[in-house]
Chain A
Amino acid sequence: MTVLLPLEPLDERAKQMTTADDRPPAVEVLSAEKVFANGARGLAPIDLAVAEGEFLTLIGPSGCGKSTLLKLIANLIEPSDGRLLWWRGDFKQVGQEGRRLAFVFQEPTLMPWARVEANVRLPLEFANMPRAIADPKVADAIARVGLSAFNRHFPRQLSGGMKMRVSIARALVTSPNLLLMDEPFGALDEFTRNRLDDDLVNLSWERKLTTVFVTHSIYEAVFLSTRIIVMAANPGRIFRVMTIDHPQPRDQGFRDSPRFAAYCRELSTWLAEASLQSVAGGEK
């Protein structure tokens, strides 16, 4: 057996989380692994359950497979072995049961030729929703991210942070059950990032979203998450799991608290260890 055990009994914890609450987990990753075409092992077999309503963050050094794991969860790529379940069913059932996934990319990926409202309406157009029903939803999603005054603007007239807000509105407009975000604020300055984090943490709480979030930022991870998965590389695997035990919604008060600092310190230590393991670890 070449299974690299995570240092914490992750499976136990995941099971506890699902049994504490009768609802099935939103996503289950069952021994899923990813070997790329060039033979590189992107992900060692991984077991993970994402509970309903959870804000789960994946963090780790470069090459630890956090984006790969997120893409597996988004069904953008297929696992080489193992499988994933969404609400205890396969991916085809997600749409049939009226559940929706939304993905926010690292870049805003807006259509430059379309106004803000048209960009946000796009997912509804894919669903062939009539304009009369779509328009209030679009207006609501734009209002949610605080851009109502800009709905007739073109993307090039907006700042980087505003474009990212549009991208989030576009994800929210379908009222997704599962929101997947791949370093959405990575390219923004810290001030803008903090403000968007404030909005996001409250949005996901209000809407009871299940969110899987990828980031490089320790502060962002601690601020947003209910649970943080620390990953290590060579091969990509789960290193440790941290539960952030602080009620939502959260605000600046949480950032200024000693507990926040303590979480950050611990996470920072874990990440340093994960980086060391990423060099030393793996198959010889």
Chain B
Amino acid sequence: MKPLLDSEAFVRIAAPLAVGVVLFAVWEIGFRLAAVPVYLFPKPSDIFNSFLQHGPSLLRALLVTLRVTLQAFVAAVVLGTLIAFMFVQSRAIEVSLFPYAVLLQVTPVVAIAPLIIILVKNTQLSLTICATLVALFPIISNTTLGLRSVDPGLASFFRMNRASRFKTLVKLRIPGALPYFFGGLRISSGLALIGAVVAEFVAGTGGRSSGLAYEILDAGFSLDIPRMFAALFLITLTGVLLFAAMVALSQFVLSDWHDSETRTET
């Protein structure tokens, strides 16, 4: 058997984990020695205690945010892919609509969120719309680019064999677009979370379905800084897990053939 340290997979997980443990230890011990008050900057142990204390309400908030994030992400993927397919069907459609996609992208979600929240009665829905708007663009632009980036040699091979439009799409354009599409997924998954949190901030203390952003706001009002950190930690963790899920998905689909996902073989 190989020693554990020689295993690439083990090092990949263990090394960053070790850095994290060291950082937490320095943080804990340093802040203890310096006696920094909890309301200024909490120690890891304070945050952990806060988790124990506010666990149920934090988890409920996490579920709310997660639901908005996932709904928005799915909506962005479906809509973005459809729009990308529309774009590649005709240059005219792309030329006339692409500037509006850019317009949507460059408008800060904070600026349009209040409008959407006013217009849409259902809070949950309005939050999802905001997050979708943020997450949409990378899917559109990456998928469009991917569907257009066809190997010219293969394209003429398809043309020579008089392949139908449909066959060219299914056998050539879609598989060729997958690496770009997965690149879009990675960016978009993170953006959906950011969009959801930002929209929650704007929506403020909606009362009923309040997510992690509300927890942060509420903790801020009551100067419960450890709870603020706990909520923040949950948001970060969610983002990392989403990203990791997307990486795993693209590895699963592309590892056989695409250079970006091929495992090192020596």
A residues adjacent to B (C-beta < 8 A): 74, 76, 101, 103, 105, 107, 109-114, 122-123, 125-126, 154-156
Contact = CB atoms under 8 A, between A and B. Distances in A.
Contacts of B153: 105, 107, 109
Nearest to A95: B162
A101 B157 CA distance: 12
A111 B259 contact: no
A76 B161 CA distance: 11
Interface in B131-179: 151, 153-154, 156-157, 160-163, 167, 171-172, 175-176, 178
Contacts, number: 44
A114 B156 CA distance: 18
30 contacts: A76-B156, A76-B160, A101-B160, A105-B153, A105-B156, A107-B153, A109-B151, A109-B153, A109-B154, A110-B154, A111-B154, A111-B171, A111-B172, A111-B175, A112-B257, A112-B258, A113-B175, A113-B176, A113-B178, A113-B258, A114-B257, A122-B171, A123-B161, A125-B167, A126-B161, A126-B163, A126-B167, A154-B256, A155-B257, A156-B257
A101 B167 CA distance: 20
Q: Is the interface of B mostly helix, strand, loop or mixed?
A: helix
B89 interface: no
Given A125-B167, A156-B259, 15 more contacts: A76-B160, A103-B160, A105-B156, A109-B151, A109-B157, A111-B171, A111-B172, A112-B257, A112-B258, A113-B175, A113-B256, A122-B171, A126-B167, A154-B257, A155-B257
B53 interface: no
Contacts of B178: 113
B209 interface: no
B159 to A, nearest CB: 8
A121 to B, nearest CB: 11
Contacts of B160: 74, 76, 101, 103
B262 interface: yes
A126 to B, nearest CB: 4
Nearest to B168: A126
Given A111-B175, A156-B262, A126 B257 contact: no
B157 A105 contact: yes
Contacts of B154: 109-111
Contacts of A125: 167, 171
Contacts of A74: 160
B253 to A, nearest CB: 9
A111 B158 CA distance: 11
Interface string B253-266: 00011110010000
